[in-house]
Structure 1
Amino acid sequence: MERYEDEWLNMLMRIGGTDVGSLDDSWINVKNPATGEQVDRVPAGSTDDVSRAVDAAGAASAGWKKKTVRERGIILFHAAEKVREQHKELARLLTLEQGKPLREAIDEVRGYANILEFYAGISASQQGEMVRLGTSGDALVVREPLGICGVIIPWNMPVLIMGWKVGPALLAGNTMVLKPASTTPLTNLRLAQILEASGLPPGVLNIVTGQGEIVGEALVKHPGIQKISFTGSCTTGLRIRELATSQLKELTLELGGSDPMIVMDDADIDKAVDGALRGRFYNAGQTCTAVKRLFVHDAIADTFMQKLKQRIEGLKIGNGLEAGVDMGPLNSPVQRERIVQIVDATRDADAGTILTGGGVLNETPYDRGLFYRPTLVADVMPENRLMSEEVFGPVLPVMTVPDLDTAIREANRTRYGLGASVWTTNLHTAKRAFDEVHAGIVWVNRHLTVPPEVPFGGMNESGIGRENGLHALDSYSRTKTLFLGW
């Protein structure tokens, strides 16, 4: 692949206002997780680079805030057009650095464009309100931007999640400093270039690449940042909350989950099998809202499991750039090793029955990549780590249940509360699941889908705040009231 080192440096200088000599001499190598080959490299940013980026965002803030919301929306719309024009190139870059099949990368890039179009489309409706107070007077209530927002992007869905954060933050009139994941910064950088080429003024969106413990922590601690929006692990999220709340920063934290999928005896079995297959093995299971725990009514369990096992064994595993690949590699060797340990411990303790998969793919041509076999584990006990922890990979634990009461009780046996789904043809069953399952979003007869119009976020240890929709736009702004006494 063509290398972009000089281009990244020029882009960082143009967007962030950084001088050539200010960047650290060290670099971060970005590797293809399917082959181990180096794709490119990006600068390993420092705390000084974060400060310079915040300064650039501060300098651009007044001019960006003065633009009308329509003007800001037009820039987002033009960027969406350019992304659609370049979606194949962007998707290929995403697959190279992240590993997911090209088909999924294309969907993610198009999803990013869809998000920008949504926020551009609602820009004309963003108006203040007049509150009539009778003899007391009148009040004009408007929303104004928070200021400079710090954004930290994960590696699993870097393009889509960048859209979730950049779209509402920029439309609301904020400037930003964004830190992409160290393993997947390239497509985020390219998307920043497209925004700049679409009319975004220099300094409005600043990218600082680097390690989380250096760049991320400096971003959270910086006194010039008014809001932090983070998507990632619970452990890191709790650390961010501790640092940010001590400075009274606004927070949006999306910290993952252990999403349950409940399949009742009246469900369409084939449709539910399709949902479980995609819901768990899409992006090699590296999705916050992936199906992480499957509860199947015992009346249909044998048929359901037989069909699901057959479908899993038919998945084509390989390099995401190859035709027909259904599942690519994991993105992180650390994450793969954790999955190996949990599955092996389950097998050794007879704490579940591995029906298919279980283990790394280390034969040619997989031996250079971070591949793990898609795995189905039956008869898993609630206290097993597959059920009690978030397993970020292609492993699906299954428990049979005798009724809806048991399914809901077991679904709620978690410290998380991000998403959940119920598969049924009974409206009462669906309503009970919606009312009683602890999750920020509950799907009926589907899983994973999160369009930009719909607020998305969790409860408990799944985080704070909401992405998407008008709710996200509100979270990047605050009200200000003009009271008129006549």
Structure 2
Amino acid sequence: MDMLINGTAAPAADETWIEVTNPATGECIDRVPRGSKEEVNAAVEAADAAFGEWSKKTTRDRGLILYRAAELIRRDHKALAALLTREQGKPIRESTDEVRGCANIFEYYASIAGLPAGETVTLGKAGDCLVTRVPLGVCAAIIPWNMPVLIMGWKVGPAILAGNTLVLKPASTTPLTNLRIAGLMQEAGLPQGVLNVVTGPGETTGAALVQHPRVKKISFTGDCATGHRIREMTKDHLKVLTLELGGSDPMIVMADADIPKAIEGALRGRFYNAGQICTAVKRLYLHEKIAEEFMRLLTAKAESLTVGNGLSPGTDMGPLNSAEQLGRINSVVSETIGRDEGVIRTGGYPLTGSGYSKGFFYKPTLITDVAPDAALLTNEIFGPVLPVVTVPDLGAAIREANRSKYGLGASVWTKDISTVKRVYDEVNAGIIWVNRHLIVPPEVPFGGTNESGVGRENGSKALDSYTQSKTMYLGW
């Protein structure tokens, strides 16, 4: 699997390679080049050279290519999903959902290609103004390993529909499906140089891309510390930034909630993709009237989950993506228990033995009686561990929900519209779900507040972040 530059395979001779490991087995399944500053420069040059012709195409023509790419992704979805599971670890049904989700995103942006992208301003005797939206130029997208295909769609779709060219850097542990989809986009008719993929570590390849003077915009999804470094590295270049930096989403369950539905929501919201989602349920707040029964039922459901290789039939939860992720989760749980900051209700340990010895598996974990300042509540825990807190009323739940430095998503489970309105008004989050959690359709703007980042992805407004206004003043 070679790196794609300007639509062709980059030479592999004398390069250092990055091995891609199956997190369920520990085996190397492929390798990709460790891109250097020279590869980044070549990719940006290719994107810059392609920008003139691509930006002159109509949005309809660009949308048609996105639509054809969606068709090809659907044609190959089984092979793409299997590849995604092998490199990322998630169960095959989740990979299938993600691959189809990428096709949905491309179809959505193709469908809005004809929307007007400007306005006229009438100034009477002073004249008239025509305001249009024009593309920025060469953009960069840096995507994470947890949802690499979906997030590729989030960034590629609006960027190229708006007339930009793009250099994309996938995560080093999950580059393979991104490369395959880039190839399908070329098969769909995307001209050479419009989309370029460079593989390599963030500290070298990513940094070179972020600091490149010809890159006009950077869209990054990842951890908070890296987001701050990107902001610091670009402070002298006036680049447009979209930073999605994760979250610690609270789920608030009130006494009048549909309990079976809320239990399923908590289960899926925390253990989907082994909890490795920025909008996963990361803190569960239960009203004291229903807390005991809720936990009894939730514990039974969590203990019944089948953990295993994502390609095996019947697997509910796959492994963590890497040994490093497994170590982080095991460490934070051990520290929590060692400090008497919580009580394990179920789980709390890596899975070993037959079927698990070479993979990065962790038992689905519920922890109750969590101390207010425990790391489980104050940090973003990127794995299958759910801290549970009992609250006496809605006011207490809102106060606890807002104690986090993040503000990405939150959910409330209730039948009372006044409760919904209060949560919407008072909880710091970019998206509030009501009686559901986790779902983000391509039509819906997505992004957070506080340390969860800046900017929005998805929806028609995402096109604004890939364009700038240009005004023609007509003096009659």
Same fold by TM-score greater than 0.5: yes
Distance 1:90 1:139 in 2: 48
- Provide the rounded CA distance (Å) in 1 between the counterparts of 2:242 and 2:174: 21
Q: Is the 8 A contact 2:81 2:95 kept in 1?
A: yes
Contact 1:375–1:396 (CA under 8 A) maintained in structure 2: yes
Q: In the alignment, does 2:132 pair up with 1:142? A: yes
Give the SS at the match of 2:209: helix
Preserved CA contact (<8 Å) 2:5 2:193: no
- More moved, 199-208 vs 347-356: 347-356
Asked if the contact 1:416–1:461 (Cα under 8 Å) also holds between the matched residues in 2, the reply is yes
Contact kept? 1:13, 1:20, Cα under 8 Å: no
Q: Deviations over 1:222-281 (max 9, x none)?
A: 001000100000000000011122210000000000000000000010000000000000
**Among 14, 20, 25, which residue is 2:11 paired with?**
20
**Is contact 1:284-1:327 (8 Å) kept?**
yes
Counterpart of 1:294, as a letter, is L
Kindly provide the CA deviation profile for residues 373-396 of structure 1, in whole angstroms up to 9, marking residues without a partner as x.
000001101100101110000000
Which residue identity is paired with 1:146?
A: L
Matched, 1:303 2:293: yes
Matches within 5 A, 1:60-459: 60-459=50-449
Determine helix, strand or coil for the equivalent of 1:215: helix
Partner of 2:45: 55
Query: What's the offset of the Cα at 1:133?
Result: 1.4
What do residues 419-453 of structure 1 show as CA deviations (whole Å, max 9, x unaligned)?
A: 00000000000010000000000000000010011
Q: Is the 8 A contact 1:156 1:286 kept in 2?
A: yes
Amino acid in the other structure paired with 1:73: G
Equivalenced residues, count? 476
TM-score (norm 1): 0.97
Q: Contact 2:25/2:359 (CA < 8 Å) preserved in 1?
A: yes
Q: Distance in 1 between matches of 2:388 and 2:117?
A: 49
Structure 2 alignment gaps of length 5 or more: none
CA distance change for structure 1 residues 338 and 142 in 2, over 3 Å: closer, same or farther? Answer: same
1:318 is paired with a residue whose SS is: coil
In structure 1, give the amino acid aligned to 2:11.
V
Runs of 4+ in 1 over 6 A off after TM superposition: none
Give the structure 2 partner of residue 463 of structure 1: 453
Worse overlay, 340-349 or 362-371: 340-349
Once the two structures are superposed, residues 397-436 of structure 1 have per-residue CA deviations (whole angstroms, 9 ceiling, x without a partner) of 0000000000000000010000000000000000100000
Alignment partners' CA distance in 1, 2:89 and 2:116 = 39
| Cα distance in 2 for residues equivalent to 1:81 and 1:178 | 21
Indicate the RMSD between aligned Cα atoms, in angstroms.
1.1
Identity of aligned residues (%): 63
Per-residue CA distance 1:141-185 (angstroms, 9 max, x = gap): 110001000110100000000000000000000001100000000
SS in structure 1 at match of 2:215: coil
Q: Report the alpha carbon displacement of residue 129 of structure 1 after superposing the two structures with TM.
A: 2.1
CA shift for structure 1 position 342? 1.1
Alignment partners' CA distance in 2, 1:434 and 1:250: 29
CA displacement 1:41-69 (0-9 Å, x = unmatched): 11110011000100000000001001001
**Which runs of 5 or more residues in structure 1 are unaligned?**
none
What is the TM-score when the length of structure 2 is the normalising length? Answer: 0.99
Give the letter for the 2:128 counterpart: D
User: Aligned equivalents of 2:302 and 2:97: distance in 1?
Assistant: 22
- Give the SS at the match of 1:226: strand
